[in-house]
Chains A and B, each alone.
Chain A
Amino acid sequence: MTLVKAAKLSDIPPGGRAIVLVGETRVILFNTAGKLYAVEDVCSHDEGSLDNGPLEDFDVECPRHGARFDIRTGEATRMPAIAPIRTFLVKVEGDDVLLETNHD
């Protein structure tokens, strides 16, 4: 397990998001309901970015075809997505947002 500095907390205000690159993986961070969540920025339906797709409660919607994912679990919550996306554990130390990653 390794902790990687991904972003600055000050860059992700409540209700906001940030897309960061962790190694070769693109990760999207959300600041919502008082916490930070991180999922891989890839829609399991067409493998494109979730980009600025709307976030409703804990469901982020892919802007291209309407697929939805729960940002807490990575689970697909609406078609046309049926496979989950990766989630990352988030740790906040001061203004640093750290992500826990592991080699597979």
Chain B
Amino acid sequence: MNPSTQAAAGIKTGYQYGFHDEEKLVFKSRKGLDERVVEQISHMKEEPSWMRDKRLEAYRIFKSKPMPAWGDTEFLNAIDFDDIYYYLKPTEKIEGRWEDVPESIKNTFEKIGIPEAERKFLAGVTAQYDSEAVYHRINEELKKQGVIFTDMDTALKEYPDVVKRYFGTIIPSSDNKFAALNTAVWSGGSFVYVPKGAQVAMPLQAYFRINAQKAGQFERTLIIAEEGSKVHYIEGCTAPTYAADSLHSAVVELIAMPGSHIRYTTIQNLSNNVYNLVTKRAIAREDAIVEWVDGNLGSKLTMKYPAVYLVGKGARGDILSCALAGEGQHQDAGAKLIFAAPHTSGTIISKSISKDGGRASYRGLVKVHPQAHDVKVNVRCDALLLDEMSRSDTYPTMEIDSKRVRVEHEASVSKIGEEQLFYLMSRGLKEQEAVTMIVNGFFDQFARELPLEYSVELNRLIQLEMEGSVG
């Protein structure tokens, strides 16, 4: 029995990271949102006036837009926007070295299991604790390559022109209600700039946490990969368990210049009271490649549809999504591929598992504009239902307005085959172990795309989820 399973065995509830520190927070905005809170946020961050104006404009758009009338409206309409804190700042300044980071914060990260910062394969770690970057360190090699990897707040201060040129160009605040909210109150998130031709060998990682009563997480991430560059960014979040609901509404914009390659990996494992409503979108220019690798394991409700807009000839978009919906959870995930240039291609692979009454939905769009010819797209959605209480829905759409294309879509919903189960059990596995093995196999395509320590963590998490759900 490996150490993680030993630790897990002693926990009664399913959620391993259910704890929170005392709220040692320097500043905490009051509950609810109005123009004054937005101005306060901008003021505390000492932002240029154009960003403050952008926030205020976004706030007005947020107020004017109605809640979405589609999706899980029951869950959505339960969000009380006035009952949330929109900004928290744990310490006054950003730490330069891991050694200088406050002890309590280091303990939090240790409990989550973040490896020692000196580990070779970590290029640099920006750790987020309640809305603001606490620790920041960039590795020598990145600096030599001219790669910028920092938090959004710092980026706005140190590279305002670059930020101004790209911020909100992929997801304008009027795009949807939650993009507007994020633009108004964003704090933290990552900024990555990769110059022409730079190939970033190691994945860039960041960790986020929600840690205060009713705190909201509104990180804003912007990644720009210049011509011919390559970068892999990994995001993983965890949050403690609370009785009250938390809102996590992030915006991620990726810009892939000609010939560049961006891969964005997420493992989301928020506690089961969090609303996770995210807008993620990439634009791919000539011969660029964008890959979204998206794992959704936690939260009460996740609504997330990573998108790639292919605007340059020869561009490619691949989206791999996996979701696990357990009791009381709704994973409403999906993907969008929009083709507006010729000789482009893309794939969408979605795998979901529902158990204990959980609900997994796939919502997707493949749209081919008349300007796009010689396009090839493949969509594959597989859903596994582990018991008769659970539910799976798929709502994909294909809008094809061009002739020289090959678009294929296939979806299936099934349960674990009796024969498969019987075979594994006849090999000495208990039913729960067999089911866990099958579930791991179902997600294998996804797990293979993750760096090693993540796939290990994923297996551990799946095991935790499966314990107590069979038998």
Contact = CB atoms under 8 A, between A and B. Distances in A.
29 contacts: A44-B369, A61-B174, A64-B174, A65-B172, A65-B174, A65-B176, A66-B172, A66-B173, A66-B174, A66-B175, A78-B169, A78-B172, A79-B169, A79-B172, A79-B175, A79-B281, A79-B283, A79-B309, A80-B171, A80-B172, A80-B175, A80-B281, A80-B309, A82-B283, A82-B309, A82-B340, A82-B369, A83-B370, A83-B371
A80 B340 CA distance: 12
A93 to B, nearest CB: 32
A44 B64 CA distance: 23
- Ranked nearest first, the 8 interchain pairs of A and B with the lowest CB-CB distance are A66-B174, A83-B369, A66-B172, A82-B340, A83-B340, A82-B311, A65-B175, A82-B309
B210 interface: no
Interface residues of A, number: 11
B215 interface: no
Contacts of B169: 78-79
A61 B281 CA distance: 20
Interface of A: 44, 61, 64-66, 78-80, 82-84
B338 interface: yes
Interface string B157-175: 0000000000001111111
**Chain A at the B interface: SS class:** loop
A64 B174 CA distance: 7
Contacts of A64: 174
Given A82-B369, A84-B371, 5 more contacts: A66-B174, A66-B175, A79-B170, A79-B281, A83-B369
**Chain B at the A interface: SS class:** loop
Interface of B: 169-176, 281, 283, 309, 311, 338, 340, 369-371
Nearest to A80: B175
A79 B283 CA distance: 9
A81 to B, nearest CB: 9
Nearest to A44: B369
Contacts of B175: 65-66, 79-80
Contacts of A83: 340, 369-371
Contacts of B369: 44, 82-83
A79 B171 CA distance: 7
Contacts of B340: 82-83
Contacts of B170: 79
B305 to A, nearest CB: 12
Contacts of A78: 169, 172
B198 to A, nearest CB: 25
Nearest to B253: A79
A85 to B, nearest CB: 11
A46 to B, nearest CB: 10
